[in-house]
Amino acid sequence: MSDVLMTHSYFLKFDPKEYRAMMPYAPLGTLYGAAILKQNGYSVLLADSMLADSENHIMPYLQKYRPPVFILYDDDFNYLTKMCLHRMRRAALNMIRMAKQYCRTVIVHGSDSTDHAKEYIESGADYVIKGEAEITLLELVKSVLSNDKPVTSIPGLVYATNRVLKETSPRKILKDLDSLPFPARILVDWDTYRSRWINRHNYFSMNVVTTRGCPFHCTWCAKPLYGQVYHSRSPENVAEEFLFLKKNYAPDHIWICDDIFGLKPGWIQSFAGEIRQRNAQIPFKCLSRVDLLLRGDTIPALNRAGCETVWVGAESGSQKILDAMEKGTTVEQIYAANKKLQQEGIRTAFFIQYGYPGETSEDIEKTIRMIKDCKPDQIGISVSYPLPGTKFYDSVSDQLSQKTNWEDSQDLALLYRGTFVPDFYRTLHKVTHSRHRISLGFAQARSVIRHPAQTNKKTLRSIASAGYHIPRLLLHSMILKYHRQKADPYE
């Protein structure tokens, strides 16, 4: 018999478009929670939801093992979990109801349950963990299984007594991240993950996290778990995990899923040295800020460490919009960081955000021009998404309808009154992608003319992609023009 059954509410297969477009990563946050329980002697089962067809996948585990504790522990390091999609909330509440039929205690942790604890407890959860969860989880499991200490003395909890919601004191953020064990990856069926990756991309990628939190003040960025703090693992500890993964799982690639990788001065340089000393190099991608990338020899150090791709929050090509977001970066820094990354042989990728309040057609054109000028290898486009607890949410809260969350990550609905109707931004997403692919394809065609001997399959695919996107661009540009010309888009 197992003490604990753990799962999470993110189902990649729930949405066919998402399942085709995105690659699966194991639920890293959930595995951290499992690791600290296993380290303290508890028997843990994982019902991994990532590639499951529905929330019913937990039923065989519940019926066979009937564990005393069920834990729905969402992955704090998956940005789609942070977005609190409607389909994820429904799945979570359904799994809570199922678990209550078989388990004595149901524990929940995640961004959405932190913001909507009452709804989760009314659906059957006994406890909602707020804030950073590992230590709270361990103390709570000890309490419910062995009466180690009264629940009311454990920081970071929401629970109900006689249907009245109560909260304990906040949990202090863990500063020494090296004290945590590595994620309990032994609980994961890696053959399935590896097969999916190899079949789609001919390589296998795993995920790692090196930091928690973010000290910057972007108006749209929610921080329900860690607050306005930033703590980092040591370069030595992260290099040891890279070596462990290389020896035990042999991934071809790592996604470092920090909000900001290597913020501390000198961290990346030290990490590069530790990686090379251990012969632990694995190609990786990470997320950073353009202003941080321009510090000293950060970009060459990323190259030495094995960085293959850097995603940056470019957001907009309009300085007016960046300032409104309180981003703290400039358009000039975006251009400069992009150029230095490309010169160092590191692929660049831009997060782009449309629809922020005050954005005009002129601002949009500046963003499209920036993408064309910089020619990042990839772009990820969204519309501004108001999350509870942010300045942005507070500024548009009176405009929000009953729909305050997207159904899925492909929704792209503008949830407040924007300059244009929501369909304008959905079409703008398509137009921007097409223009980007055409621009890259033409650049590759010019390269082939100049250096025909360097032509490869990737080059030819890029050129072919441009041909595919030209008619799409013509069609969607006409639709975009129609939406743009509406005098009052909300009448």
Q: Is the pLDDT of residue 38 over 90?
A: yes
Query: What's domain 4-167's architecture?
Result: 3-Layer(aba) Sandwich (3.40)
Q: Whose CA is closest to 440, among 465, 420, 415, 422?
A: 465
205-214 residue pLDDT tens: 999 999 998 8
Domain boundaries 182-392, corresponding CATH code: 3.20.20.70
275: pLDDT strictly greater than 50: yes
Q: Which pLDDT does position 357 carry in this prediction?
A: 92
pLDDT for residue 335 is more than 80: yes
**Annotated domain spans of the chain:** 4-167, 182-392, 420-491
**pLDDT in the model for residue 463:** 85
Helix (H) or strand (E) holding 253: strand 253-256
How large is the average pLDDT for residues 390-394?
83
Burial of 86 (0-12, 13-18, 19+ CB in 10 A): middle
| pLDDT on residue 200 | 86
Q: What is the mean pLDDT of residues 173-200?
A: 94
Give the pLDDT score at 487.
45
Position 384 confidence tier, pLDDT thresholds 50, 70, 90: confident
Could you give the CA distance from residue 62 to residue 40 in angstroms, rounded to a whole number?
A: 23
- Say whether pLDDT at 411 is over 70: no
Structure confidence by residue, pLDDT tens digits, 124-156? 999 999 989 999 999 999 999 998 789 999 999
Average pLDDT, the chain: 90
DSSP H or E segment with residue 287? strand 284-288
Q: DSSP character for 173?
A: P
Q: Which of 160-174, 207-221, 297-311 has the lowest mean pLDDT?
A: 207-221
- Predicted confidence at residue 283, as pLDDT, reads 98
Average pLDDT over residues 419-441: 92
d(CA 491, CA 488): 6
What is the per-residue pLDDT for 342? 96
Judge whether residue 80 has pLDDT over 90: no
Is pTM beyond 0.75 here?
A: yes
Give me the DSSP letters along 315-367. E-S-HHHHHHTT----HHHHHHHHHHHHHTT-EEEEEEEE--TT--HHHHHHH
Q: Does 402 or 112 have the greater pLDDT score?
A: 112
Residue 428 has pLDDT above 50, yes or no: yes
pLDDT confidence band for 389 (50 / 70 / 90)? confident
Average pLDDT of span 319-333: 96
Please check the confidence at residue 353 and state whether its pLDDT lies above 50: yes
At residue 17, the pLDDT reads 54
Q: Residue 476: which pLDDT band, with cuts at 50, 70 and 90?
A: very high
DSSP, res 183: P
Q: Quick one: pLDDT band at residue 70, thresholds 50, 70, 90? A: very high
Domains 4-167 and 182-392 share a fold: no
Burial of 316 (0-12, 13-18, 19+ CB in 10 A): buried
State which of 110-119, 305-314, 414-423 shows the largest mean pLDDT.
305-314
From CA 129, how far away is CA 120, in angstroms rounded?
11
Length of the chain equals 491
pLDDT at position 58: 95
Judged against a pLDDT cut of 80, whether residue 95 lies above it is answered with: yes
